[in-house]
Homo-oligomer: A and B are copies of this chain.
Amino acid sequence: MQLSARNQLKGVIKDITLGNIMAEIVVELPDGQVVVALITFTSSERLNLQIGDEVTAVFKSTEVMIGKDEQTG
């Protein structure tokens, strides 16, 4: 399935924390920056997510804000 989402960042799972309902998945990008995804525990189990998995962090462009340092303006 091809997705309309503009943001599809490839990386590797570095850490997983499981709660009752939620799971926190930490993905490291090739440049060393990190993306955190909060998904349901059920989804984490269904995808059988493991540390070291190559995954894609997917999010819509409507969800992204831009921050700019006042000095750089």
Question: A residues touching B (Cβ–Cβ < 8 Å)?
Answer: 1-10, 17, 19-25, 27, 29-31, 33, 35-40, 42-44, 46-49, 53-70, 72-73
Contacts and interface: CB of A to CB of B under 8 A. Distances in A.
Given A65-B60, A68-B53, A4 B35 contact: no
Integer count of this chain's copies in the complex:
6
Contacts of A25: 66
Given A9-B33, A19-B19, A60-B63, A54 B38 contact: no
Contacts of A61: 24, 36-38, 40
A24, A25, A56, A65: most-surrounded residue (chain B CB, <10 A)? A65
B2 A47 contact: yes
